[in-house]
Amino acid sequence: MPRFKLLIEYEGTRYSGWQIQKNARTVQGEIADAARSVFKTGEFELYGSGRTDAGVHALEQVAHLDVNTVLAPHIIRMKLNDQLPADINILEVQKAPKNFLARHDALARSYLYQISRRRTAFGKKFVWWINDELNFHRMAEASKLFTGLKDFRSFSRDNREEKSTKVLVERIEMKEDGALILIRITGSHFLWKMVRQVVGVLVEVGRGNMSNVEVEALLKAQTGKPAKLTAPPSGLFLEKVFYEGDQHALPLRPVLSIPLQ
């Protein structure tokens, strides 16, 4: 059965995440429905590079699709997009080696989070609007504490008994862009809600409610404090999934520019 690599963008506002769930609308479910219509069969397999939570967006999710078809990749892309809702778009379809696995072959992933320092009528679905004054430089300094191989057991709801909570965070990049604070986190993989909880802690630092010493303590002991600070999903984007040969250096740019006024 031929295998294809799909690059997908989506706005996650209306969906209960990527992965198919019973009695819930998901991105994977919508693509599977489109595939059934295009290929006139239910005999196919569709696997993503990883889950995204309800309300989280993707600039470039990756999936592999196994299906018997004579259609060329560009025709598959066109036909799938004809069947998909406007908030899901197949960017590209490529032929892939039969041993390519969207999840297990991924070497790293980057997530982008957008914080808006002013109320916005147009970007509400794509930012976390914070009305408080944020100290960007304090946030940037605190972000360095999360890089390297760390135990993020306090930054996830994953069961530590079932999987390791150690994650290699390659780097965290931050930038001010108009009314936005951009935070990019790149790592080997991420635990459930980990990125949003890291962002929530950085915001508390920016508000002046938490010191770097307190942040370090969160990484050393089991505590539920980060969960209480979880940033909303609206500002989070799966930005890029990296495979062998991919360039890791990317410009840090907003999805939607928001001027200060």
Catalytic residues: 53
The angle subtended at Cα 156 by Cα 153 and Cα 159, nearest 5°, is 70
- Residue 21 Rama label (left phi>0; alpha psi -120 to 50; beta): beta
Run of H or E including 92: strand 88-96
Say how far apart CA 198 and CA 194 lie, in whole Å: 6
Tokens of 97: 């080696």
Distance of CA 74 to the CA centre of its chain: 26
Q: Which residues contact 104 (CB under 8 A, 6 or more apart)?
A: none
- Which among 54, 210, 188 is positioned nearest to 199, based on CA atoms? 210
**Cβ pair 60, 27 in contact under 8 A:** no
